[in-house]
């Protein structure tokens, strides 16, 4: 049964996921690569990160406020004290508080470039990303001690990837072929870091989806969809690394627009994967965790 409250709350979660990853990732990318960025693209990336941090913050707060309404399937229950209390006392309540604090710190520390702001932004980004490991299916799983670090690496690297795409796009647009050195440097680092997304995702998938048969469940379909999205992303990233990076470094102006096109495609693909993940994990749990709620409602015998 799908309610209007589901559409709104899950929609907010999906938008919030993309905005949070973008803001946290851009802040981390700035901390790692600001020295290789010219001041104009760095400032534009900082502005973009600030806007997305604000969007993520608003989405997180609205999501939290409206979750009691989704619990009851009725907007009239938005301020139901019993449901508010249930949410606040749950791991989801703690995670939301950590997320909101992290995003607020991130937002406030992105107003201008300074060493203190960089540290604060990294702290805010870290808190926002850690919030993912404080709620959800990993929290109630008996193998949480493995899943939590895997999830943190998974979301951390994915966030830096999304943040880097915005950074590389702005650098290519503002500085043209001069961005070649940055693209080459980031691609070299990504070659080592991005596979971590796959490895951690694989470990979590094997833990959650325990048999090939479970791949046919909605949760299994999400895992397969994410794997397909990741494969497509790797193909685009390889094109950046092996084709556009060297062309930019060689001063080929024609590579600038081509790189921007590929980056846009990568960004959209990551955003779709993030939004689909937000939607599916709101509606489904892994089969064995759903099991605690029972497999199916027993119908009356046919000859009643």
- Tell me which residues touch another protein (CB under 8 A): 1-3, 6-7, 10-11, 14-15, 67, 70-74, 77, 82-83, 86-87, 90-92, 135-137, 139-140, 218, 268, 271-272, 275-276, 278-280, 282-285, 289-300, 304
Closer residue to another protein, CB minimum distance, 83 or 101: 83
Smallest gap, in angstroms, from Cβ of residue 219 to another protein? 10
| Closest distance to another protein from the beta carbon of 246 (Å) | 31
Q: Minimum distance between the CB of residue 288 and another protein, rounded to whole angstroms?
A: 12
- Minimum Å distance from CB 64 to another protein? 11
Residue (93 or 180) nearer to another protein, CB: 93
On the CB side of 87, CA atoms within 13 Å amount to 20
Calpha distance 84→70 (Å, rounded): 11
Q: How far is CA 2 from CA 7, 8, 43, in A?
A: 8, 11, 43
Least Cα distance to 122 among 30, 18, 22, 16 occurs for: 30
As a whole number of angstroms, the distance between CA 107 and CA 289 comes to: 36
DSSP secondary structure string for all residues of 90-146: SHHHHHHHHHHHHHHHHHHHTSS--HHHHHHHHHHHHHHHHGGGGSSTTTTSTTHHH
Minimum Å gap between C-beta 38 and another protein is 27
């Amino acid at each position: 049964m799908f309610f209007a409250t589901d559409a709104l709350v899950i929609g907010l979660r999906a938008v919030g996921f993309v905005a949070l990853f973008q803001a946290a990732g851009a802040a981390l990318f700035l901390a790692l690569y600001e020295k290789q960025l010219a001041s104009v693209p760095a400032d534009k990336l900082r502005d973009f990160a600030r806007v997305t941090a604000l969007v993520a913050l608003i989405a997180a707060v609205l999501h939290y406020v409206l979750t009691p309404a989704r619990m009851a399937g009725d907007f009239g229950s938005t301020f139901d004290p019993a449901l508010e209390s249930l949410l606040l006392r749950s791991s989801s309540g703690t995670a939301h508080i950590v997320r909101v604090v992290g995003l607020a710190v991130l937002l406030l520390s992105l107003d201008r470039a300074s060493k203190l702001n960089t540290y604060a932004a990294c702290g805010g980004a870290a808190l926002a990303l850690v919030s993912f490991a404080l709620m959800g299916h990993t929290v109630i799983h008996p193998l949480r001690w493995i899943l939590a670090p895997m999830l943190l690496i998974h979301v951390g690297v994915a966030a830096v990837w999304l943040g880097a795409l915005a950074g590389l796009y702005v650098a290519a647009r503002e500085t043209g072929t001069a961005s070649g050195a940055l693209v080459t440097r980031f691609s070299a680092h990504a070659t080592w870091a991005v596979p971590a997304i796959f490895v951690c995702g694989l470990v979590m998938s094997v833990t959650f989806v325990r048999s090939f048969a479970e791949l046919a469940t909605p949760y299994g379909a999400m895992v397969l969809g994410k794997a397909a999205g990741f494969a497509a992303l790797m193909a685009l990233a390889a094109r950046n690394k092996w084709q556009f990076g060297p062309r930019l470094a060689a001063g080929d102006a024609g590579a600038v627009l081509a790189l921007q096109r590929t980056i846009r495609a990568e960004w959209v693909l990551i955003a779709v994967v993030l939004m689909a993940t937000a939607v599916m994990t709101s509606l489904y749990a892994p089969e064995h965790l759903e099991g605690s709620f029972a497999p199916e409602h027993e119908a009356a015998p046919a000859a009643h």
